[in-house]
Structure 1
Amino acid sequence: MAPTDVIPWLLDTDPALRWQVERDLLDAPAVQWEATRARIPHEGFGAALLEKQDPATGLWAGGAFFPAGYLEDPESATLPGQPWTATTWSLTTLREWGMDPAPLRERDTAAMLARTAHWEYDPSLPYWGGEVDVCINAMTLANGLWLGADVEPLATWFAEHTMAEGGWNCEAVEGSTRASFHSTLNALRALHEHERATGGTDALRAAQRAGEEYLLQRRLTRRLSTGELVGPWVDHFLYPPRHIYTALRALDHFRHAGRRDPRMEDAIAMVEDAQQADGTWLQQHVLPGAVWFEVDVRVGEPSPWLTMQALRVLRWWHAG
């Protein structure tokens, strides 16, 4: 099939995906895709995930980053992956689906979490102040902006923790001085949301440009020192990606930020090469760990989420 032939297949999906197809691939009128997006909290994936929130605490699975009791359970150390069910992951999922935060604001979620959520790393740290992990802080910053929490002190944390190479690394707290593709992309996504929501600051805009340059110098795909692929994950496209870097996810960030650069061509070629003869992209990896419910297909099957993301990235790129 030609890529346009997958559109009916993409439209026959959950509102969390369908509205993005209407807006980003079909240029549907705003009244149409906004109506589809408004269905997210009332049906399908969005409604199901909202039902998992504890109305008394605002938490999911009783914890901030991990479910309650997970780190104290000796058997958890033998399980593959980690759970993806706790509060930070659940909020991030709803936000990235594009759900209007109104239902969560009506529940006073931000204020409840300020009272009830405690970081497993250090329970004395306030939830909306973040902790020491770049990826956790990135999700917290973006989620806080979405819910109307005061996260400005957390935003400044990113400017203060930029590494010499221009990016970030979640392992900095353990002594690493080298930036990470994964951490840098997650930080950039959050800082872009901060700039959109608040107008940003000179310091944070400089941090964003430095982080983007870190990735672009490496063509979004390669080690600067050797020119080798930075890792097998770079072209192993997956949904949900959680915190994992891929060339597709990086390109989607730059699309959203409205920044094109010829150094993205290697990443574009990876996306194009992964398209199947029927116009779809396959799920290439699934992160292990407990989930509330499945939102995409198994490894080796055509993924509606990846297909939508790849098509809109390529549409954006070639339109330029």
Structure 2
Amino acid sequence: MDFVAGAIGGVCGVAVGYPLDTVKVKIQTEPKYRGIWHCVWDTYRQERVRGFYRGLSLPVCTVSLVSSVSFGTYRHCLAHICRFRYGSPDAKPAKPDITLSGFASGLVRVFLTSPTEVAKVRLQTQTQTQQRRPSASWPSAASPMCPAPPACSAPGPKYRGPLHCLATVAREEGLRGLYKGSSALLFRDGHSFATYFLSYTILCEQLTPAGHSRPDVLGVLVAGGCAGVLAWAVATPMDVIKSRLQADGQGQRRYRGLLHCVVTSVREEGPRVLFKGLTLNCCRAFPVNMVVFVAYEAVLRLIQGLST
């Protein structure tokens, strides 16, 4: 049940949050942007609405599996801990049990998400603008210098789509390229998912009406949204480093590894660079995780109702 509910909740969440995720990645990896609205306007001006959904197809195809594994791992790990410590998988877990299960959930998902994160970041950050060809019916002042129209056009984007991106990275950089930034991803997801599930559980307990075992829909919305915000507040520094390492394969490489990326980024842009995109992450996390947990809880209740 947890695997199915997690899969549906994850798809709903990515559908809501992807445009802001694109803006977040661009802010973290491209110093030219002065802020959120500058990035939004520049992306819209150059690529229109389509620019906010670059690389979406791969996350949509894989997020159900990743979210399913995340929620399923969390619940199964928690059940095993409760069985080992208290003699029953249905026993009420302690806060350290929830934290450890959430941490395990974050670690497991890294092995699935790293290649898709590489493709997503590369597609979100590659230059998409192309010069227009001169019109055949209107003479151009540059036509004597450039008789062949194709020569006047800038080369197209390096990656034509998610699968082409993955194939290109694997061919040019090998298997290590597909798992570039996975060390930062491990640090990001481990402690952020521990925070995520722990804060959701605590908030649900606080928002559950007296005499009930679960919070109502409003309680789930608030608890899910707040849990997402807290998780991203913890995860943002490593998310910045992860995005920079994964985008580094385009052109000349700047970073030799995680520590070198941290030191170089802080030296060049100050400690504030580690919190680039924090506001955007938190603004995106609240509605996304409201949707994720409401869908997750609704599917769980539906399955439980059908099975009884």
Q: Given the two structures, how large is their TM-score scaled by the length of structure 1?
A: 0.24
Larger relative contact order, structure 1 or 2 (CA cutoff 8 Å, min sep 6): 2
More helix by share: 2
Larger radius of gyration: 2
